[in-house]
Amino acid sequence: MTDESTASRKTELSATTMVEQVLAFVREHGGIEKLVEDHGAQSLIRVPYQPAEEGEDADKRHTYPLEALAESLDTAQAEGRTPLPDEVFPPAQLRGHGAGCGKDDKAATDMLRALGFDFFDFFDSLHDDESTASRKTASSDTKRVKGYAPWKPQKKTKVLLAQVQEILEEYRDYLPLTGRQIFYRLVGAYGYEKTEAAYDRLTDKLVRARRAGVIPFEKIRDDGAAVMQHNHYRDEDAFWGHIRKQGQAYRRDKLASQEVDIRVYCEAAGMMPQLHDICRPYSVPVFSCSGFDSLTAKWDLAQACQEAFWYQGRNTVILHLGDHDPSGDSIFNDGLVEDIHAFLATDVPHRRPSSVAPFERVALRREQVEEYNLDTSPPKESDGRTPNWSGTETAQLEALPPDVLAELLTDAIERHIDTDVYEKDVEKEKEEAQRIAKALPAPAKEGEE
């Protein structure tokens, strides 16, 4: 394949112009995948470069296999950066073109950014991805997809999205799922590549799929921002409408009559909505302890435990869910258990802290990794906690199938409550809801004030 329109150029072509020519040629012919499909992965793109010296072939050209070009562009996109000249042409072919070849060569990067089109826009049209990494590293003037965005995914992406839809349907009772949960289901059920780069590519496609309306936003959960809002009302009717909705949604606090208080703490903030739905029937609250949490959050938990003990005579059971790795174990043991118990040793001096606030690691434990045959990875050597960790293989909480996770958490809650008391509360809830419904003010008729 040859770009004949540039064959007669008599001026030296810079590396920037060469890159621009190649990418323009790819775009004109329907994208890299279309070229590979039509001509084969080993077909060559030929682009003329500096004018021939005396006695040399006047039509001297650089050549580059389509397969290598596609791989280079994918690599640059996955790393969220602008592609460099040596990722479009082999370094030997760039000699004498006024550009460095190293990936850290700022001059080469600046030169590419001077092109007449946006490389990230090119990626969006060529590879149909919106790169999470590129959003973090792109400059402020880089154009990105915004709002609802039409999208024409390629064939292999459509196959992947169909698999995602099957997973969402299979676990419809546990929605929303996190991207990481979908990733592990794809790995287990469809042989999806188990690498962080593959996870990043999946995340990009899930972003584009939601923006395009292919997948409903509410079915997938990102680690979102916290929200604080006010209970203000448009007018008196709006207030009474709110009261009616509250009355219609009345639920009795199932923990109020129990001898223990229960809280669930989860390392992955994105799983909170899913865990909240599991815990709702038991009135058990769910908290996120992502990372190593804040001192304020840990002190608040210690205060809640000691107040439940002093004022209600109840112990507080903390059920924890986190990754099976050095950091996950450290978050549980050092970050929560030891710190909370240290506070309670002072606040409730005559009782053992472990009896005032017993902790239970619901998941993920070593035996569960083996029992459910979860995907594992070696611990990170860069993690300073690894040398003191007793495990040999790590696994993430989100590798557990959602239905298994729900069963483990439900069983843990029911082990700590009196089920007879719980069933009586359920019956009382029905009776109280009926009485509340009768007492609610009727909606104002249209035209009435």
Rounded alpha-carbon distances, angstroms, from residue 161 to 102, 148, 181? 36, 18, 15
- Is 322 in the same domain as 413? yes
What number of CA atoms fall less than 13 Å from residue 389's CA on the CB side?
Answer: 21
CB 264 within 8 A of CB 409: yes
Instruction: For residue range 297-319, list pLDDT tens digits in order.
Output: 888 899 999 999 999 999 999 99
Comparing 135-144, 243-252, 292-301, which segment has the lowest mean pLDDT? 135-144
User: To the nearest whole percent, how much of the chain has pLDDT over 70?
Assistant: 64
The pairs formed by 156-165 with CB atoms below 8 angstroms and a separation of 24 or more are 157/128, 157/205, 160/186, 160/192, 160/202, 160/205, 161/205, 161/209, 161/214, 161/215, 163/189, 163/190, 163/192, 164/206, 164/209, 164/215, 165/215
Chain centroid offset of residue 185 CA: 14
**CA angle centred on 188, ends 183 and 189, rounded to 5°:** 100
371 in a structural domain: yes
- Is 23 in the same domain as 57? yes
More confident residue, 377 or 85: 377
Rounded alpha-carbon distances, angstroms, from residue 5 to 9, 43, 47, 61, 377? 9, 19, 10, 13, 51
User: Does the pLDDT at position 355 exceed 90?
Assistant: yes
pTM: 0.62
60 in a structural domain: yes
| Residue 84 pLDDT | 59
Average confidence (pLDDT) over 359-371: 93
- Is 322 in the same domain as 188? no
- At residue 223 the predicted structure's pLDDT band, cuts being 50, 70 and 90, is low
Q: Give the range of the structural domain holding residue 327, as residue numbers without chain letter.
A: 259-417
**CA angle centred on 433, ends 432 and 435, rounded to 5°:** 65
Structure tokens given for 235: 């007018």
Rounded alpha-carbon distances, angstroms, from residue 179 to 167, 202, 225, 293? 11, 8, 16, 22
**CA angle centred on 430, ends 427 and 434, rounded to 5°:** 145
| Residue 99 pLDDT | 36
CB 318 within 8 A of CB 360: yes
358 in a structural domain: yes
| Residue 389 pLDDT | 83
More confident residue, 16 or 371: 371
- Is 270 in the same domain as 408? yes
| Residue 85 pLDDT | 55
362 in a structural domain: yes
- Is 316 in the same domain as 277? yes
- Is 116 in the same domain as 180? no
145 in a structural domain: no
95 in a structural domain: yes
Instruction: For residue range 398-437, list pLDDT tens digits in order.
Output: 999 999 999 999 999 999 999 999 999 999 999 999 999 8
Average confidence (pLDDT) over 12-22: 55
More confident residue, 187 or 97: 187
Of 105, 137, 169, which residue sits at a domain end?
Answer: 137
- Is 133 in the same domain as 159? no
3-state secondary structure of 195: coil
- Is 266 in the same domain as 201? no
Q: What average pLDDT is seen over the chain?
A: 75
User: To the nearest whole percent, how much of the chain has pLDDT over 90?
Assistant: 35
Cβ burial of 35 (10 Å; 0-12, 13-18, 19+) is buried
Instruction: For residue range 315-334, list pLDDT tens digits in order.
Output: 999 999 999 888 888 878 87
Total structural domains within the chain: 3
| Residue 356 pLDDT | 95
Comparing 114-118, 273-277, 303-307, which segment has the lowest mean pLDDT? 114-118
Residue 116 DSSP class: S
Highest mean pLDDT among 21-35, 285-299, 319-333: 319-333
What does residue 163 show for φ and ψ, rounded to 5 degrees?
Answer: -65, -40
What does residue 127 show for φ and ψ, rounded to 5 degrees?
Answer: -115, 0
Average confidence (pLDDT) over 66-91: 58
CB 357 within 8 A of CB 340: yes
The closest alpha carbon to 326, from 399, 387, 265, 373, belongs to: 387
Residue 148 DSSP class: S
How far, in Å, CA of 428 to CA of 400, rounded? Answer: 35
The closest alpha carbon to 338, from 298, 290, 388, 390, belongs to: 298
- At residue 73 the predicted structure's pLDDT band, cuts being 50, 70 and 90, is low
- Is 59 in the same domain as 109? yes
Comparing 19-33, 216-230, 336-350, which segment has the lowest mean pLDDT? 19-33
Of 221, 243, 267, which residue sits at a domain end?
Answer: 221
What number of CA atoms fall less than 13 Å from residue 122's CA on the CB side?
Answer: 26
Comparing 11-25, 208-222, 242-256, which segment has the lowest mean pLDDT? 11-25
How far, in Å, CA of 199 to CA of 211, rounded? Answer: 18
240 in a structural domain: no
User: Does the pLDDT at position 143 exceed 60?
Assistant: no
- Is 130 in the same domain as 182? no
User: Does the pLDDT at position 295 exceed 50?
Assistant: yes
CATH of the domain at 412: 3.40.1360.10
- Is 304 in the same domain as 387? yes
Kindly give, in sequence order, each residue whose CB lies less than 8 Å from that of residue 164, ignoring residues fewer than 6 positions away. 182, 186, 206, 209, 215
| Residue 52 pLDDT | 42
Average confidence (pLDDT) over 35-61: 52
245 in a structural domain: no
- At residue 259 the predicted structure's pLDDT band, cuts being 50, 70 and 90, is very high
| Residue 327 pLDDT | 82
The pairs formed by 38-46 with CB atoms below 8 angstroms and a separation of 24 or more are 39/1, 39/66, 40/66, 41/65, 41/66, 41/67, 42/66, 42/67, 43/1, 44/1, 45/1, 45/3, 45/69, 46/1, 46/2, 46/3
What b/e readout covers 190-200, taking b as 16+ CB neighbours within 10 angstroms? eebeeeeeebb
- Is 353 in the same domain as 400? yes
